[in-house]
Structure 1
Amino acid sequence: MVQTFTQLETISLEVPNSIALTVTGDQFEALVFANPDLRLERTAQGELIVNPPTGGESSSRNLSISGQLGNWCETHEDLGEGFDSSGGFILPNGATRSPDASWVSRARWEALTAKERKGFVPLCPDFVSTLQTKMREYIDNGARLGWLIDPQNRRVEIYRQQAEVEILANPTELSGEDVLPGFVLNLRRVWR
Protein backbone atom coordinates (compact mmCIF):
# COMPACT_ATOMS: atom_id res chain seq x y z
CA MET A 1 0.00 0.00 0.00
CA VAL A 2 1.41 3.35 -1.02
CA GLN A 3 0.19 6.36 0.84
CA THR A 4 0.14 9.72 -0.82
CA PHE A 5 -0.31 13.05 0.86
CA THR A 6 -1.21 16.26 -0.83
CA GLN A 7 1.46 18.89 -0.56
CA LEU A 8 0.47 21.26 2.20
CA GLU A 9 1.87 24.68 2.90
CA THR A 10 4.24 24.30 5.83
CA ILE A 11 5.05 26.74 8.58
CA SER A 12 7.69 26.73 11.30
CA LEU A 13 6.45 26.47 14.84
CA GLU A 14 8.42 26.69 18.06
CA VAL A 15 6.77 24.80 20.90
CA PRO A 16 7.97 25.34 24.49
CA ASN A 17 8.75 22.18 26.48
CA SER A 18 5.87 23.02 28.81
CA ILE A 19 3.38 22.38 25.99
CA ALA A 20 2.79 18.79 24.94
CA LEU A 21 1.53 18.11 21.44
CA THR A 22 -0.46 14.89 21.23
CA VAL A 23 -1.25 12.90 18.11
CA THR A 24 -3.05 9.66 17.35
CA GLY A 25 -1.20 6.74 15.79
CA ASP A 26 -2.60 7.60 12.35
CA GLN A 27 -1.70 11.29 12.75
CA PHE A 28 1.80 10.31 13.82
CA GLU A 29 2.24 8.14 10.73
CA ALA A 30 1.05 11.01 8.51
CA LEU A 31 3.54 13.41 10.19
CA VAL A 32 6.41 10.98 9.69
CA PHE A 33 5.64 10.52 5.99
CA ALA A 34 5.23 14.27 5.51
CA ASN A 35 8.52 15.02 7.33
CA PRO A 36 11.00 12.29 6.33
CA ASP A 37 14.02 14.35 7.42
CA LEU A 38 12.81 14.63 11.02
CA ARG A 39 13.38 12.01 13.71
CA LEU A 40 9.99 11.76 15.36
CA GLU A 41 8.77 9.52 18.17
CA ARG A 42 5.45 9.19 20.00
CA THR A 43 5.02 8.37 23.69
CA ALA A 44 2.46 5.91 25.03
CA GLN A 45 0.31 8.95 25.93
CA GLY A 46 0.44 10.20 22.32
CA GLU A 47 2.90 13.04 22.95
CA LEU A 48 4.97 13.96 19.90
CA ILE A 49 8.74 13.98 20.39
CA VAL A 50 11.11 15.61 17.89
CA ASN A 51 14.66 14.32 18.27
CA PRO A 52 17.34 16.73 17.10
CA PRO A 53 20.33 15.49 15.08
CA THR A 54 23.31 14.33 17.11
CA GLY A 55 26.72 15.98 17.14
CA GLY A 56 29.75 14.59 15.34
CA GLU A 57 31.18 12.57 18.23
CA SER A 58 27.82 10.97 19.08
CA SER A 59 27.19 10.16 15.44
CA SER A 60 30.62 8.54 15.10
CA ARG A 61 30.06 6.42 18.22
CA ASN A 62 26.59 5.40 17.04
CA LEU A 63 28.03 4.34 13.68
CA SER A 64 30.62 2.16 15.43
CA ILE A 65 27.98 0.46 17.56
CA SER A 66 25.56 0.00 14.65
CA GLY A 67 28.37 -1.17 12.36
CA GLN A 68 29.57 -3.80 14.81
CA LEU A 69 26.00 -5.00 15.40
CA GLY A 70 25.39 -5.00 11.63
CA ASN A 71 28.48 -7.14 11.01
CA TRP A 72 27.32 -9.61 13.66
CA CYS A 73 23.83 -9.69 12.10
CA GLU A 74 25.32 -10.49 8.68
CA THR A 75 27.18 -13.52 10.03
CA HIS A 76 24.24 -14.64 12.21
CA GLU A 77 21.37 -13.82 9.87
CA ASP A 78 19.57 -17.03 10.82
CA LEU A 79 19.13 -15.69 14.38
CA GLY A 80 17.25 -12.48 13.58
CA GLU A 81 17.19 -8.98 12.11
CA GLY A 82 19.13 -5.88 13.15
CA PHE A 83 17.94 -2.29 12.82
CA ASP A 84 19.55 1.16 12.82
CA SER A 85 18.27 4.31 14.49
CA SER A 86 15.74 5.08 11.78
CA GLY A 87 13.63 1.96 12.47
CA GLY A 88 10.37 2.63 14.30
CA PHE A 89 8.79 0.14 16.69
CA ILE A 90 5.27 0.33 18.09
CA LEU A 91 5.68 -0.91 21.66
CA PRO A 92 2.94 -2.83 23.50
CA ASN A 93 2.21 0.32 25.56
CA GLY A 94 1.35 2.23 22.34
CA ALA A 95 4.54 4.32 22.07
CA THR A 96 6.38 4.48 18.74
CA ARG A 97 10.11 4.56 19.43
CA SER A 98 13.38 4.36 17.51
CA PRO A 99 16.31 2.96 19.50
CA ASP A 100 19.87 3.81 18.41
CA ALA A 101 20.44 0.16 17.47
CA SER A 102 18.19 -2.86 17.92
CA TRP A 103 17.65 -6.52 17.08
CA VAL A 104 14.63 -8.84 16.82
CA SER A 105 14.83 -12.64 16.92
CA ARG A 106 14.10 -14.52 13.70
CA ALA A 107 10.99 -16.25 15.12
CA ARG A 108 9.42 -12.95 16.20
CA TRP A 109 10.34 -11.23 12.91
CA GLU A 110 8.91 -14.02 10.78
CA ALA A 111 5.68 -14.03 12.82
CA LEU A 112 4.97 -10.55 11.43
CA THR A 113 2.98 -10.05 8.25
CA ALA A 114 4.61 -8.44 5.21
CA LYS A 115 2.63 -5.27 5.93
CA GLU A 116 3.84 -5.18 9.56
CA ARG A 117 7.46 -5.55 8.41
CA LYS A 118 7.17 -2.62 5.99
CA GLY A 119 5.70 -0.08 8.42
CA PHE A 120 6.49 0.68 12.02
CA VAL A 121 7.20 -2.74 13.49
CA PRO A 122 4.46 -3.63 16.02
CA LEU A 123 6.67 -5.16 18.71
CA CYS A 124 9.44 -4.35 21.17
CA PRO A 125 12.94 -5.40 20.02
CA ASP A 126 14.73 -8.14 21.96
CA PHE A 127 17.86 -5.96 22.19
CA VAL A 128 18.19 -2.17 22.27
CA SER A 129 20.91 0.43 22.70
CA THR A 130 19.36 3.76 23.64
CA LEU A 131 19.10 6.63 26.13
CA GLN A 132 18.39 6.11 29.83
CA THR A 133 15.03 7.87 29.73
CA LYS A 134 13.83 5.34 27.17
CA MET A 135 15.61 2.24 28.48
CA ARG A 136 13.12 1.41 31.24
CA GLU A 137 10.26 1.72 28.74
CA TYR A 138 11.89 -0.82 26.41
CA ILE A 139 12.60 -3.27 29.24
CA ASP A 140 9.05 -2.87 30.60
CA ASN A 141 7.71 -3.59 27.10
CA GLY A 142 9.69 -6.79 26.56
CA ALA A 143 13.27 -6.00 25.55
CA ARG A 144 15.48 -8.75 26.99
CA LEU A 145 18.78 -6.83 26.93
CA GLY A 146 19.60 -3.13 26.82
CA TRP A 147 22.82 -1.14 26.90
CA LEU A 148 23.11 2.47 27.95
CA ILE A 149 26.58 3.57 26.89
CA ASP A 150 27.93 6.74 28.52
CA PRO A 151 31.13 7.67 26.62
CA GLN A 152 31.87 10.80 28.64
CA ASN A 153 32.22 8.77 31.85
CA ARG A 154 33.28 5.51 30.15
CA ARG A 155 30.46 3.71 31.84
CA VAL A 156 27.83 1.22 30.71
CA GLU A 157 24.50 0.37 32.29
CA ILE A 158 23.20 -3.08 31.36
CA TYR A 159 19.45 -3.63 31.60
CA ARG A 160 17.86 -7.08 31.71
CA GLN A 161 14.38 -8.42 32.42
CA GLN A 162 13.63 -8.72 36.15
CA ALA A 163 17.17 -7.79 37.23
CA GLU A 164 18.87 -4.83 38.82
CA VAL A 165 20.78 -2.55 36.46
CA GLU A 166 24.42 -3.66 36.22
CA ILE A 167 26.93 -0.80 35.99
CA LEU A 168 30.36 -1.35 34.43
CA ALA A 169 33.17 1.18 34.73
CA ASN A 170 35.44 1.52 31.68
CA PRO A 171 34.77 -1.89 30.11
CA THR A 172 36.63 -2.70 26.89
CA GLU A 173 33.84 -4.88 25.49
CA LEU A 174 30.24 -5.95 26.05
CA SER A 175 28.77 -9.40 25.52
CA GLY A 176 25.48 -9.92 23.73
CA GLU A 177 24.87 -12.71 26.25
CA ASP A 178 22.20 -15.25 25.30
CA VAL A 179 20.18 -12.60 23.43
CA LEU A 180 22.88 -11.97 20.78
CA PRO A 181 24.97 -15.17 21.06
CA GLY A 182 28.60 -14.60 20.11
CA PHE A 183 28.22 -10.82 19.67
CA VAL A 184 30.89 -8.79 21.43
CA LEU A 185 30.86 -5.00 21.13
CA ASN A 186 34.37 -3.54 21.09
CA LEU A 187 34.16 -0.38 23.20
CA ARG A 188 37.71 0.79 22.49
CA ARG A 189 36.42 2.45 19.31
CA VAL A 190 33.51 3.99 21.21
CA TRP A 191 35.67 5.41 24.03
CA ARG A 192 38.12 7.27 21.77
Structure 2
Amino acid sequence: MMATTTTLMTARDLELMPDDGYRYELMRGVLKKMPPTAAPHLIVSGRLIGYLNQYLEEHDLGDAGGEGRLIFENDPGVVLSPDVAVLFVEQLPELSTSGLMRVVPPLVAEVISPANRPTAIEEKVRVYLRAGVKLVWVVDTDQRMIRVRTADGGDRLLTERDELPGEDVFPEFRVELRRVFRRMLQFGRKV
Protein backbone atom coordinates (compact mmCIF):
# COMPACT_ATOMS: atom_id res chain seq x y z
CA MET A 1 0.00 0.00 0.00
CA MET A 2 1.39 3.40 -0.98
CA ALA A 3 1.38 6.29 1.45
CA THR A 4 -0.27 9.49 0.33
CA THR A 5 1.38 12.81 0.91
CA THR A 6 -0.28 16.08 1.69
CA THR A 7 1.29 19.30 0.49
CA LEU A 8 1.36 21.73 3.37
CA MET A 9 0.41 25.32 2.67
CA THR A 10 1.87 28.52 4.00
CA ALA A 11 0.06 31.70 4.95
CA ARG A 12 1.41 33.22 1.73
CA ASP A 13 -0.14 30.37 -0.30
CA LEU A 14 -3.49 31.08 1.33
CA GLU A 15 -3.14 34.79 0.69
CA LEU A 16 -2.51 34.15 -3.03
CA MET A 17 -5.47 31.78 -3.48
CA PRO A 18 -8.19 33.17 -5.76
CA ASP A 19 -11.41 34.10 -3.98
CA ASP A 20 -13.91 31.29 -4.54
CA GLY A 21 -16.53 32.67 -2.16
CA TYR A 22 -15.56 30.41 0.76
CA ARG A 23 -13.68 31.19 3.94
CA TYR A 24 -10.60 29.18 4.84
CA GLU A 25 -8.30 28.76 7.79
CA LEU A 26 -4.88 27.18 7.92
CA MET A 27 -3.91 24.90 10.81
CA ARG A 28 -0.34 23.57 10.82
CA GLY A 29 -0.19 23.96 7.05
CA VAL A 30 -3.48 22.14 6.37
CA LEU A 31 -6.21 24.11 4.59
CA LYS A 32 -9.61 24.02 6.34
CA LYS A 33 -12.76 25.15 4.53
CA MET A 34 -15.04 26.92 6.98
CA PRO A 35 -18.72 25.95 7.11
CA PRO A 36 -21.38 28.59 6.44
CA THR A 37 -22.38 30.57 9.52
CA ALA A 38 -25.72 29.58 11.10
CA ALA A 39 -28.16 32.19 12.45
CA PRO A 40 -27.42 31.76 16.20
CA HIS A 41 -23.69 31.98 15.50
CA LEU A 42 -24.12 35.11 13.39
CA ILE A 43 -26.40 36.85 15.88
CA VAL A 44 -24.33 36.13 18.99
CA SER A 45 -21.10 37.17 17.23
CA GLY A 46 -22.81 40.39 16.16
CA ARG A 47 -24.04 41.09 19.68
CA LEU A 48 -20.59 40.57 21.18
CA ILE A 49 -19.06 42.86 18.56
CA GLY A 50 -21.74 45.46 19.30
CA TYR A 51 -21.25 45.38 23.08
CA LEU A 52 -17.47 45.47 22.69
CA ASN A 53 -17.55 48.36 20.20
CA GLN A 54 -19.79 50.38 22.50
CA TYR A 55 -17.27 49.92 25.33
CA LEU A 56 -14.23 50.50 23.10
CA GLU A 57 -15.74 53.69 21.66
CA GLU A 58 -16.63 55.06 25.10
CA HIS A 59 -13.02 54.52 26.24
CA ASP A 60 -11.35 55.34 22.89
CA LEU A 61 -9.47 52.03 22.98
CA GLY A 62 -9.95 50.47 19.55
CA ASP A 63 -12.40 48.49 17.47
CA ALA A 64 -14.01 45.04 17.40
CA GLY A 65 -14.88 43.11 14.27
CA GLY A 66 -15.11 39.60 12.99
CA GLU A 67 -13.68 37.06 10.61
CA GLY A 68 -10.46 38.86 9.72
CA ARG A 69 -7.64 36.49 8.84
CA LEU A 70 -4.91 36.55 11.48
CA ILE A 71 -1.40 35.22 11.09
CA PHE A 72 0.89 34.99 14.09
CA GLU A 73 4.65 35.34 13.68
CA ASN A 74 5.29 32.43 16.05
CA ASP A 75 3.07 30.08 13.97
CA PRO A 76 3.54 30.79 10.22
CA GLY A 77 1.60 27.67 9.17
CA VAL A 78 -1.50 28.92 10.98
CA VAL A 79 -4.07 31.44 9.76
CA LEU A 80 -7.21 31.78 11.87
CA SER A 81 -10.37 33.83 11.41
CA PRO A 82 -11.89 34.39 14.84
CA ASP A 83 -15.57 35.23 14.98
CA VAL A 84 -14.73 38.28 17.10
CA ALA A 85 -11.43 40.12 17.49
CA VAL A 86 -10.54 43.37 19.22
CA LEU A 87 -7.73 45.59 18.03
CA PHE A 88 -6.30 48.48 20.01
CA VAL A 89 -6.10 51.92 18.36
CA GLU A 90 -2.30 51.66 18.20
CA GLN A 91 -2.57 48.38 16.25
CA LEU A 92 -4.73 49.84 13.47
CA PRO A 93 -1.85 51.45 11.49
CA GLU A 94 -0.20 48.01 11.30
CA LEU A 95 -3.11 46.60 9.28
CA SER A 96 -3.05 46.30 5.54
CA THR A 97 -6.25 47.04 3.64
CA SER A 98 -6.29 43.53 2.20
CA GLY A 99 -4.93 40.12 2.99
CA LEU A 100 -3.72 38.79 6.29
CA MET A 101 -3.48 40.74 9.52
CA ARG A 102 -0.16 40.33 11.30
CA VAL A 103 -1.26 41.56 14.71
CA VAL A 104 -2.10 39.90 18.01
CA PRO A 105 -5.52 41.01 19.26
CA PRO A 106 -5.89 41.38 23.03
CA LEU A 107 -9.21 39.50 22.83
CA VAL A 108 -10.72 36.97 20.44
CA ALA A 109 -13.93 34.95 20.57
CA GLU A 110 -14.79 31.72 18.80
CA VAL A 111 -18.45 30.74 18.49
CA ILE A 112 -18.87 26.98 18.39
CA SER A 113 -20.67 25.69 15.30
CA PRO A 114 -22.11 22.19 14.84
CA ALA A 115 -19.20 21.42 12.50
CA ASN A 116 -16.56 22.33 15.14
CA ARG A 117 -14.92 19.45 16.96
CA PRO A 118 -14.02 20.24 20.59
CA THR A 119 -10.40 19.30 19.86
CA ALA A 120 -10.26 21.80 16.98
CA ILE A 121 -11.61 24.60 19.18
CA GLU A 122 -9.14 23.74 21.95
CA GLU A 123 -6.29 23.78 19.42
CA LYS A 124 -7.34 27.27 18.28
CA VAL A 125 -7.46 28.48 21.90
CA ARG A 126 -3.91 27.17 22.47
CA VAL A 127 -2.70 28.94 19.29
CA TYR A 128 -4.27 32.23 20.37
CA LEU A 129 -2.84 32.10 23.89
CA ARG A 130 0.61 31.00 22.68
CA ALA A 131 0.63 33.93 20.22
CA GLY A 132 -0.02 36.43 23.01
CA VAL A 133 -3.81 36.89 22.96
CA LYS A 134 -4.69 37.80 26.55
CA LEU A 135 -8.38 36.83 26.62
CA VAL A 136 -10.25 34.14 24.66
CA TRP A 137 -14.00 33.57 24.83
CA VAL A 138 -15.36 30.25 23.55
CA VAL A 139 -19.08 30.71 22.99
CA ASP A 140 -21.59 27.84 22.99
CA THR A 141 -24.93 29.11 21.67
CA ASP A 142 -26.68 25.74 22.21
CA GLN A 143 -25.79 25.55 25.91
CA ARG A 144 -25.83 29.37 26.30
CA MET A 145 -22.43 29.35 28.00
CA ILE A 146 -19.09 31.06 27.48
CA ARG A 147 -15.77 29.59 28.51
CA VAL A 148 -13.33 32.34 29.48
CA ARG A 149 -9.63 31.55 28.99
CA THR A 150 -6.87 33.95 29.98
CA ALA A 151 -3.16 34.18 29.22
CA ASP A 152 -2.30 33.56 32.87
CA GLY A 153 -3.98 30.14 32.77
CA GLY A 154 -7.42 31.20 33.95
CA ASP A 155 -10.25 28.97 32.74
CA ARG A 156 -13.85 29.31 33.84
CA LEU A 157 -17.28 28.56 32.50
CA LEU A 158 -20.04 31.18 32.62
CA THR A 159 -23.76 30.56 32.13
CA GLU A 160 -26.49 32.96 31.09
CA ARG A 161 -27.01 33.83 34.78
CA ASP A 162 -23.50 35.34 34.87
CA GLU A 163 -21.88 38.52 33.61
CA LEU A 164 -19.17 38.31 30.97
CA PRO A 165 -16.17 40.32 32.21
CA GLY A 166 -13.37 41.92 30.23
CA GLU A 167 -10.95 40.62 32.87
CA ASP A 168 -7.67 42.57 33.19
CA VAL A 169 -7.74 43.41 29.47
CA PHE A 170 -10.87 45.57 29.66
CA PRO A 171 -11.50 45.90 33.42
CA GLU A 172 -14.67 47.98 33.15
CA PHE A 173 -16.33 45.83 30.46
CA ARG A 174 -19.24 43.71 31.64
CA VAL A 175 -22.30 42.37 29.85
CA GLU A 176 -25.02 40.08 31.16
CA LEU A 177 -24.93 36.81 29.27
CA ARG A 178 -28.72 36.63 29.24
CA ARG A 179 -28.55 39.68 26.93
CA VAL A 180 -25.98 38.00 24.69
CA PHE A 181 -28.08 34.83 24.41
CA ARG A 182 -31.58 36.34 24.37
CA ARG A 183 -34.03 34.62 22.02
CA MET A 184 -31.68 31.67 21.39
CA LEU A 185 -34.41 29.21 22.39
CA GLN A 186 -36.65 30.56 19.62
CA PHE A 187 -34.43 29.38 16.75
CA GLY A 188 -36.01 26.57 14.78
CA ARG A 189 -39.41 27.03 16.41
CA LYS A 190 -42.30 28.53 14.48
CA VAL A 191 -44.29 31.07 16.42
Query: TM bucket by the smaller chain?
Result: 0.7 to 0.9
Q: Which of these residues, 80, 91, 98, is aligned with residue 97 of structure 1? A: 80
- Stretches of 4+ aligned residues off by more than 3 angstroms: 18-21, 107-110, 116-119, 169-172
- Normalised to the residue count of structure 2, the TM-score between the two structures is 0.75
Q: How far apart in 1 are the matches of 2:7 and 2:42? A: 28
Percent of counterpart pairs with the same letter?
Answer: 28
Structure 2 gaps, min length 5: 113-120, 184-191
Q: Which of these residues, 109, 121, 126, is aligned with residue 101 of structure 2? A: 121
Q: 1:37 to 1:186 in 2, by over 3 A?
A: farther
Contact 1:65 1:185 in 2 (8 A): no
Q: CA deviation at 1:183?
A: 2.2
Q: Which has the higher strand share?
A: 2
Q: 1:141 to 1:117 in 2, by over 3 A?
A: farther
Q: CA deviation at 1:21?
A: 5.7
Q: How far apart in 1 are the matches of 2:161 and 2:140? A: 11
Aligned to 2:115: none
Q: CA deviation at 1:117?
A: 5.7
Q: Which of these residues, 164, 167, 173, is aligned with residue 163 of structure 2? A: 173
Q: 1:19 to 1:66 in 2, by over 3 A?
A: farther
- Normalised to the residue count of structure 1, the TM-score between the two structures is 0.75
Give the alignment of 1:14-163 within 5 angstroms: 22-31=8-17, 34-35=18-19, 37-43=21-27, 45-76=28-59, 78-85=60-67, 87-92=68-73, 93-94=75-76, 95-110=78-93, 112=94, 116=96, 118-130=98-110, 131=112, 132-133=121-122, 134-163=124-153
Structure 1 gaps, min length 5: 1-17
Name which structure has the greater RCO, CA cutoff 8 Å, separation 6+. Answer: 2
State the superposition RMSD in angstroms. Answer: 2.4
